[in-house]
Structure 1
Amino acid sequence: MDLLLARDLLAWPPGDNDTDTIIDGVHFNLTTLKFWNYTYWSNKTLSNVTWCELGFQPYLADTLLENGTWVNSTSCYVPLDPIGTRSAVGMGYAVAYALCLLLVLVNLTKHGKLHLPSEKRFVPIGRRWQWYWAIWVCATAMIGLFFNVDVDRYYVMEIPILITSFFWYLMQMGTTALVWEAVRHWGSWMERQYIDPNPFVLPEEGRRWHFEFWVPLFFYFWDWMNFFMVIPRNWSPIERQRAPDQVVNEAEPNAMDPRFKAATFMLFICWLTIVVYLQHAVRHYEAKHRGAANRVKGFFSYMPWRFILEIPLLLALVVYQGIAAWDFDLSPLKVNTYLPAVFVGGYTPSLLILIIQIIDGFMRPNEDRELIRQRRVRGAAVDQELGYVQKPAWWHRNAGADDMANRIMRNVREVGGGRATATRVDDIAQGRAVRRDSSLMAAGGGGGGGIEMSPMASPGGVGGGTAAPPPYTPYAGKSERRKTEHAMQAAAAALFPQPSNPASAAGSVADMPPPPEFGAAVAGTDGDVDDNRQAGMLRPRSGERNHSTASSVSVSQQRPQQVRSMLDV
């Protein structure tokens, strides 16, 4: 490149007279050129402290006015040269980073989606940070590599070398943070699986909790210190690589100053922090081993395969940043640097780390889905231990389905279900009392006031009847509840006897049919009225069953069906 030629001062070419000079066939006023302190250089450029113009055709200016204005000129800082090796290789790497960016977005969508409620202890953004940093790495790498094209094409170097170097350092910082977030989140994921069966197996306080709280702050402190050592600085001396003397006197000393060297050590501290945190996660959330050799073996056996590859690649990236701070010929800040070192040590580790992360992201399931699967497996194991057989999927109730519970409730509403004593209890009891008083007055001629004051006859009758009571048949069941119900029914029948025809109870007493004798069979004919009926005692026949469970409910009265269970439907 003409850029690399010795920019020695040249004498002004002779012209028609002492105040004229001819440069590439164009006449210029030499007095005006000297007045504005222009100098003619061996790379065929005309420049002073402020301006730099190309001095060869077809970019040479038509003339220079007395006020120092060039007419139809071309600045030195334009891309004129063809694309070189640095640009071609850089474009290939830029395309690779662009493809990685698309795949990173796919993985972010996959692993960032929630399928379980968010927990305070494991926030959703924790699993997404590694993909956010991967986007940062792809973006900074593409910007820096695209500006590599102008590093080759600029006739006189200016800002492109600064932009590509600036974003290269940002890419190194982002790659370190990417590996850190991958390791940190892997430890968090191990903790989440560890405590999911028993949330109280690990305390939220203690040395482990404090270590996991402070180590991220420690890491980002040194990572951002690397940023502040490199980025906020005067980059102008590094772009002055337009002549060998400028490279030696200005660009190289600034590219290897103590701040670049200190930034390398800060990045190395970040790498050590990642290794220590990985060992911490393996020690707390994986099986324990005894002995130094077994612990080392267990550390590498439990470590995910991606970290076995990524951590050495990150160390290679840190080492190359240190080499660039001590050897300017291998640094990406130099225009004519050694390109294999730049791309192999500067861009390849970051690209490989991205590829490993993407492959692992496609292989791993979403963490919420994996946690659901683990819970299902644990539930199946517990059911197997208890001998419980899980119902098939079609058995479970679906939203809006017409299941058995809904059908039962609908039937209950149709028949007017409810407690038996919940409707017209007082009316039924009062009507029955009135009918009984009327019957007693008509039969015995006595006046019974209320239910409590009604005369009660002995089993033998008022007139000393000799009729025997019906035979007693004891209950042979085993339920105490049924025994109690039968006793209550017998007491209710004795205290509140019912007429055999309730519909005619409200009429005349003379219209009532006579009850059968005590000794008559259930299916027998009507007999004469005995002394017991004359005394006012209406006792039911022995073969007649009383279905009443309370003293105020009549079984002969038309009542809604009372649904007490599914069997009544």
Structure 2
Amino acid sequence: MALLSAREALAFPGGDNSSDTIINDVHLNLTTLSHWNYTLYSNGSLSNGSWCLLAFRPYMPSYVLPNGTFLNVTWCWTPTKPIDVRGGVAVGYAVLFGIALVLTLVALNKHGRLHLPVEKRFYPIGRRWQWYWGSWVCATAMISLITSIDVDRYFLPELPVILSSFFWYLMQMGTVALVWEAVRHWGSWMERQFIDPDPFTLRDDDRRSKVEFYLPLLFYLFLWLNFFMIVPRNWEPVQHQRYPQQTLNDAAPTATDSRFKAGAFLLAVCWLITVYSLRHSIKYYCPRNRGIFNRITGFFRYTPLRFMLIIPLVAALVTYQVLVAFRFEYSPLKVGGLDAAIFAGGYTPSLLIVYIQAVFGFINPNEDLELQRQRRVRHQALDREMGIVYKPSWWRRVNGEVLDPNASMRDRLLRNVREVQGNKRPAPGTEIPANAADGAADVEMTPVSPALTSPRPPGPHSERYRGRSDRTRQQAAIDRVAGLPLAQREELMMDGPPPPSYTETLSTGPSPQVPGAARSISAQSSASTNQPPQQIRSMLDV
């Protein structure tokens, strides 16, 4: 803890004796105060360099012990003052940023939702980053503003001014990143619309693609350099603003050192990269203009209204940060600084940018839904060119092509049966067996029509085949058997008497009128038993 200046030190007032002093009608042991090196200062504090306590009513301690302990003490690092103008305005800004946070989350839910399959070239997180950074800006701004309430309420400046300044710089970084992501994603959205009709319109290895690959890396390089220039430092000298000389010696040089100046200019480079990214997207995805003046006119013509508003605002934000890096009296790091400059240049641009983003987030449609609409428009145009006319929506309902959501599984299976048979609806007076759907449900297949189990009508192979083709002869035999009733097919497959021998067939011969006559004659004749055995002459006799 830094000491107050010696020029503001006061002598202890006299008391009842040489070892007594009266401060605000309270008797304290002067010997104990001198032993522990306590000094009374003109601002009403009593300090020994390590401890500081308030020595005015109603915070005056009531007694001091010989070991230097005070009773009913109030330390100097206590918010004892009422809320000042800076604290009151900070409360209002904190409420506005809280509302903006809710709107940002609603917009994130709207634009971050997917309605199309994810494409490798366009990841969903790319469209969500601007809303992530918007949430970051609102959260850091609220922390900075809430801690700003105690900046002027503390008797001696301490931790609140450090927290307020720390999160203020984080809010500035988030705002610049928010605008960058909005501009970058707009270029990505333009590219997606450009290649959706023809994916091979743009090359993947040209100058355009390389610039779009390296620009984000370059932007975040300078943004993180700004972070490392500002955040990782010793913030304790910022709170050394307990009297004017200490402010000039410690706080002002720290708030305007070379690192703060370098960080401000790095933020300006990030702004220039954002503007170049916007110009790059307009050049490749919007109609081209010839000539310098036409290009300038086209740049402002094709820039979306949202960017016409937020890019100048972020430029004002960067300008203010450069200003406070050189002029400490306008900085939010100064206790009791110029409130109008702090809120107008430090918080208002970020607040307006977040609200503009939220308003356009509610106006603009989801990108997947918009892409689906563009595809429908293109398909309708192609159908008109080809002369394709689609039937109205009521046509399917009239013709029974719309499924009833309350229909049972049996009704759906019967509808499938009718479609297989070529009938979308049953003929008047036709009854469908009740067990047809049950059997189909058992095997999870369409039930077999009764017409398929009846005898088949004569086909092209119904008559006996007289040709030489074995395949056709086999098919004709199969067709004849398939066309027979089930009882006849079973009778054909039954085992019957053996065929007659070769000698009996040669001796008697079959009767052409009566089938099986040779078998009956050979059974009644005794010639086969009286004659000598047949001599086998060749393999044909076996």
TM range, normalised to the smaller chain?
0.7 to 0.9
Give the conservation status (yes or no) of the 8 Å contact 2:86–2:149.
Answer: yes
2:495 maps to none
Match of 2:420 among 403, 409, 419: 409
**Distance in 1 between the 2:60 and 2:457 partners?**
112
Aligned counterparts, 1:408-487, within 5 A: 408-409=419-420, 413-415=447-449
Does residue 262 (structure 1) correspond to residue 262 (structure 2)? The answer is yes
Give the conservation status (yes or no) of the 8 Å contact 2:152–2:336.
Answer: no
Paired AA for residue 409 in structure 1: V
Per-residue Cα deviation, 1:1-47 (whole angstroms, up to 9, x for no partner): xxx99981111111122221111111111121122121111111111
2:169 maps to 169
2:349 maps to 349
2:10 maps to 10
1:84 maps to 84
1:358 maps to 358
* Runs of at least 5 residues in structure 2 that lack an aligned partner in the other structure: 406-411, 424-445, 481-486, 489-511, 514-542
1:284 maps to 284
**Distance in 2 between the 1:297 and 1:422 partners?**
82
Per-residue Cα deviation, 1:285-327 (whole angstroms, up to 9, x for no partner): 1111111111111111111001111111111100100110100
RMSD: 3.1
Give the conservation status (yes or no) of the 8 Å contact 2:40–2:46.
Answer: yes
1:93 maps to 93
Distance 1:399 1:234, change over 3 A: farther
Distance 1:249 1:407, change over 3 A: same
**Distance in 1 between the 2:179 and 2:6 partners?**
45
What is the deviation of 1:244?
0.9
Distance 1:86 1:69, change over 3 A: same
SS in structure 1 at match of 2:156: coil
Paired AA for residue 249 in structure 1: N
Per-residue Cα deviation, 1:86-107 (whole angstroms, up to 9, x for no partner): 1111111111111111111110
SS in structure 1 at match of 2:53: strand
Q: Percent identity?
A: 54
What is the deviation of 1:393?
3.1
SS in structure 2 at match of 1:115: coil
Indicate the larger mover: 72-81 or 372-381: 72-81
SS in structure 2 at match of 1:370: helix
Distance 1:393 1:266, change over 3 A: same
SS in structure 1 at match of 2:27: strand
1:391 maps to 391
What is the deviation of 1:206?
2.1
Paired AA for residue 347 in structure 2: Y
Give the conservation status (yes or no) of the 8 Å contact 1:141–1:167.
Answer: yes
1:49 maps to 49
Distance 1:19 1:313, change over 3 A: same
**Distance in 2 between the 1:452 and 1:77 partners?**
119
Distance 1:39 1:135, change over 3 A: same
Does residue 182 (structure 1) correspond to residue 182 (structure 2)? The answer is yes
**Distance in 2 between the 1:142 and 1:6 partners?**
39
**Distance in 1 between the 2:222 and 2:31 partners?**
58
Paired AA for residue 302 in structure 2: Y
Does residue 311 (structure 1) correspond to residue 311 (structure 2)? The answer is yes
What is the deviation of 1:360?
0.8
Distance 1:385 1:424, change over 3 A: closer
**Distance in 2 between the 1:136 and 1:382 partners?**
45
SS in structure 2 at match of 1:151: coil
Q: TM-score, normalised by structure 2?
A: 0.75
Per-residue Cα deviation, 1:492-548 (whole angstroms, up to 9, x for no partner): 9xxx9xxxxxx99xxxxxxxxxxxxxxxxxxxxxxxxxxxxxx99xxxxxxxxxxxx
**Distance in 2 between the 1:73 and 1:199 partners?**
75
Paired AA for residue 418 in structure 2: R
What is the deviation of 1:395?
5.0
**Distance in 1 between the 2:253 and 2:157 partners?**
18
1:375 maps to 375
What is the deviation of 1:419?
12
1:226 maps to 226
**Distance in 1 between the 2:7 and 2:147 partners?**
25
What is the deviation of 1:347?
0.7
**Distance in 2 between the 1:415 and 1:409 partners?**
10
What is the deviation of 1:373?
0.4
**Distance in 2 between the 1:138 and 1:419 partners?**
76
Does residue 108 (structure 1) correspond to residue 108 (structure 2)? The answer is yes
SS in structure 1 at match of 2:93: helix
What is the deviation of 1:408?
2.1
Paired AA for residue 212 in structure 1: E
Q: TM-score, normalised by structure 1?
A: 0.72
Distance 1:195 1:33, change over 3 A: same
Give the conservation status (yes or no) of the 8 Å contact 2:111–2:367.
Answer: yes
What is the deviation of 1:409?
2.1
SS in structure 2 at match of 1:326: coil
Paired AA for residue 310 in structure 2: E
Indicate the larger mover: 372-381 or 30-39: 30-39
**Distance in 2 between the 1:224 and 1:399 partners?**
59
What is the deviation of 1:110?
0.7
* Runs of at least 5 residues in structure 1 that lack an aligned partner in the other structure: 434-450, 454-487, 497-502, 505-534, 537-569
Paired AA for residue 260 in structure 2: F
Per-residue Cα deviation, 1:130-151 (whole angstroms, up to 9, x for no partner): 0000000001111111111101
Paired AA for residue 34 in structure 1: S
What is the deviation of 1:221?
0.9
1:59 maps to 59
What is the deviation of 1:68?
1.8
What is the deviation of 1:416?
5.6
Length, aligned pairs only? 437
Give the conservation status (yes or no) of the 8 Å contact 1:111–1:366.
Answer: yes
Per-residue Cα deviation, 1:211-259 (whole angstroms, up to 9, x for no partner): 1111101101111111111111111111011111111111111111100
1:35 maps to 35
1:440 maps to none
Give the conservation status (yes or no) of the 8 Å contact 2:24–2:57.
Answer: yes
What is the deviation of 1:392?
2.7
Paired AA for residue 415 in structure 1: S
Distance 1:30 1:389, change over 3 A: same
**Distance in 2 between the 1:416 and 1:14 partners?**
124
What is the deviation of 1:176?
0.1
For the pair shown, the structure with the greater C-alpha radius of gyration is: 1
Give the conservation status (yes or no) of the 8 Å contact 1:7–1:42.
Answer: no
1:146 maps to 146
SS in structure 1 at match of 2:152: helix
Give the conservation status (yes or no) of the 8 Å contact 2:140–2:171.
Answer: yes
What is the deviation of 1:162?
0.7
**Distance in 1 between the 2:259 and 2:38 partners?**
36
**Distance in 2 between the 1:391 and 1:6 partners?**
96
1:71 maps to 71
**Distance in 1 between the 2:295 and 2:144 partners?**
43
Give the conservation status (yes or no) of the 8 Å contact 1:6–1:42.
Answer: no
